[in-house]
């Protein structure tokens, strides 16, 4: 069966080219049917369940099976007495310390544990967004799971490590909600990156030496404005959470790469990019030879990556430059950034990710890469690619000149933007994507392909491209602009008219 959603995703660029730019290997399922087809689920049998939970599990199993998910008997999911890797284990009900589902998992980074709790979501009893989020994190920590589902007589609520709180209904739409909302959250789980995942350069970031100090000051200038927006949530500290015992606290700490806790949202400042205007296909063939440029849609020539794009009626070839981004370290106060300790440098060159931490920072500082590292870099790479396209097709356009002279800014928060209030030249995309968080490979791919589609729309509509908003359904938004100060100022201007909102509990019971 053809996957029409995937075909639309790669209408302008090949899937293999996108993965080459981002350094992603292997198959990445991008649509709910593909995600379901790759999911293997088992139900943990040793939880003390209730009648309500048992009835819910029957419905859930039926909906998962209808979506195309493989359900394994618990005995068949074991290998040498432990749960196999790359498996979702669902535990409905209360479990005893020493016999939690996580106690039987081989590798928590390659497995997902879901807890189902009888009773309403604790966020329903909190008023502030931070308090709602903290109450969910507490439940995740106590049950040592990555996803928790609360079940009561009226609704079932899905809560994830990335801060999503989605309230769903029991009506005729239940199977569709399982297939379109729950399945993507299980198939694209939140896994914190480790420094070992990248080219890690500890203590090598010196803002004064590499000329980035001016761009780092954008964090300072915009800080008070972001604080007024209330969009950047605070850190939920591990020390503030309760665990059944110290053993489970160590498990959670290890899974989180020994971070001091979890925080939500990020600010990033892309450094100026050395981009070249795109070439036509005939120019590329004349320069590099007549070898096919179609095939996988990219070529590597003399340590450079060239990508073929199908835009404005004819193929263009882009020399993908390396990109560098200053961004807030995981866990810092985004509205009060100390650039000497809270800012790290990310780089992406031909799929290789570089992560530099500040020089002279105490080892006691929790200086970890953002969960959203690859999506941040994907936006930066996509800016460079679309800048190259625009520089070729619209030589007088401002966006490529801005990238070359001052870079760009990116902000992420858990909320929405009213597209009717966007500044002129801003394009919105991603509303119909599966609901995954920006810490996933899927989100990074959606960012790059979505930004390309936004530029294609700008060319077709004759509207100059100035920036974009990448919507992550049931999660948040990533917005690209000229500077963090400018973005924060715009947010403050429209927040009073409900043009920008923060998520709390997202109610889709009637959808």
Residues 433 and 457 in one domain: yes
pLDDT at 173 over 90: yes
Residues 129 and 224 in one domain: no
* Helices 484-495 and 213-229: angle between axes, nearest 10 degrees: 10
pLDDT at 362 over 70: no
Report how many domains make up the chain.
2
The whole-number pLDDT of residue 360 equals: 78
Considering the domain boundaries, does residue 5 fall inside one? Answer: no
The whole-number pLDDT of residue 263 equals: 64
Residues 321 and 439 in one domain: yes
Considering the domain boundaries, does residue 271 fall inside one? Answer: yes
Tokens in use for 177? 């909600």
The whole-number pLDDT of residue 417 equals: 87
Residues 80 and 202 in one domain: no
Closest CA to 144 of 60, 77, 242, 233: 242
pLDDT at 39 over 70: yes
Residues 121 and 166 in one domain: yes
Q: 298-346 pLDDT, tens per residue?
A: 999 988 999 999 987 679 999 999 999 999 887 777 878 888 888 999 9
Considering the domain boundaries, does residue 455 fall inside one? Answer: yes
**Domain end position, chosen among 139, 161, 187:** 187
Mean pLDDT throughout 226-251?
82
The whole-number pLDDT of residue 152 equals: 95
Considering the domain boundaries, does residue 22 fall inside one? Answer: no
Considering the domain boundaries, does residue 2 fall inside one? Answer: no
pLDDT confidence bin for 4, thresholds 50/70/90: very low
The whole-number pLDDT of residue 501 equals: 78
Residue with tokens 């008070």: 224
* Burial class (CB within 10 angstroms; exposed 0-12, middle 13-18, buried 19+) of 254: exposed
Measure the CA–CA gap between 17 and 487, rounded to whole angstroms: 31
Residues 247 and 139 in one domain: no
Question: What average pLDDT is seen over the chain?
Answer: 89
Helices (H) and strands (E) in the chain, counts: 14, 27
Residue of higher predicted confidence among 233 and 420: 420
Q: Give the structural domain span for 93.
A: 31-187
Measure the CA–CA gap between 180 and 178, rounded to whole angstroms: 6
pLDDT confidence bin for 261, thresholds 50/70/90: low
pLDDT at 235 over 70: no
Tokens in use for 255? 């899974």
> Phi/psi at 146 (nearest 5 deg)?
-95, -20
């Amino acid at each position: 069966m053809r996957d029409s959603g995937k075909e639309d995703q790669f209408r302008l660029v090949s899937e293999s080219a996108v993965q080459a730019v981002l350094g992603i290997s292997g198959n990445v399922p991008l649509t709910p049917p593909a995600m379901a087809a790759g999911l293997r689920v088992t139900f943990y049998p040793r939880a003390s369940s209730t009648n309500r939970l048992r009835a819910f599990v029957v419905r859930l199993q039926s909906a998962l099976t209808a979506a195309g998910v493989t359900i394994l008997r618990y005995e068949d999911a074991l290998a040498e007495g432990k749960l196999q890797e790359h498996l979702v284990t669902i535990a409905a009900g209360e479990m005893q310390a020493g016999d939690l589902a996580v106690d039987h998992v081989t590798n928590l980074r390659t497995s997902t544990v879901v807890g189902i709790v009888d009773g309403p979501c604790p966020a329903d009893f909190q008023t502030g967004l931070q308090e709602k989020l903290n109450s969910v994190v507490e439940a995740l920590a106590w049950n040592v799971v990555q996803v928790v589902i609360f079940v009561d007589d009226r609704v079932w609520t899905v809560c994830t490590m990335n801060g999503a709180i989605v309230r769903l209904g029991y009506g005729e739409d239940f199977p569709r909600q399982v297939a379109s909302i729950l399945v993507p959250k299980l198939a694209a789980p939140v896994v914190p990156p480790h420094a070992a995942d990248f080219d890690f350069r500890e203590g090598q970031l010196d803002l004064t030496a590499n000329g980035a100090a001016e761009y780092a000051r954008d964090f300072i200038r915009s800080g008070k404005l972001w604080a007024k927006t209330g969009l950047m949530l605070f850190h939920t500290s591990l020390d503030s959470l309760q665990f059944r015992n110290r053993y489970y606290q160590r498990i959670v700490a290890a899974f989180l790469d020994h971070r001091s806790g979890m925080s939500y949202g990020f600010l990033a400042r892309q450094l100026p990019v050395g981009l070249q205007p795109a070439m036509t296909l005939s120019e590329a063939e004349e320069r590099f030879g007549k070898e096919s440029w179609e095939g996988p849609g990219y070529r590597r020539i003399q340590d450079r990556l060239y990508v073929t794009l199908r835009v404005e009626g004819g193929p263009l070839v882009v020399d993908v430059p390396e990109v560098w981004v200053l961004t807030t370290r995981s866990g810092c106060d985004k509205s009060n950034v100390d650039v000497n300790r809270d800012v790290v440098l990310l780089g992406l060159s031909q799929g290789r990710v570089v992560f530099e931490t500040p020089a002279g920072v105490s080892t006691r500082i929790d200086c970890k890469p953002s969960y959203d590292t690859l999506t941040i870099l994907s936006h930066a790479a996509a800016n460079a690619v679309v800048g190259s396209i625009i520089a070729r097709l619209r030589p007088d356009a401002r966006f490529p000149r801005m990238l070359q002279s001052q870079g760009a800014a990116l902000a992420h928060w858990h909320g929405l933007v009213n597209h009717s209030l966007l500044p002129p030249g801003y394009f919105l995309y991603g509303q119909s994507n599966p609901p995954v968080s920006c810490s996933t490979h899927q989100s990074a791919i959606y960012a790059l392909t979505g930004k390309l589609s936004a530029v294609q729309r700008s060319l077709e509509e004759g509207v100059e491209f100035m920036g974009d908003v990448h919507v992550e359904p049931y999660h948040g938004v990533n917005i690209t602009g000229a500077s963090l100060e400018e973005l924060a100022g715009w947010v403050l201007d429209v927040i009073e008219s409900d043009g920008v909102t923060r998520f709390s509990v997202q109610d889709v019971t009637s959808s």
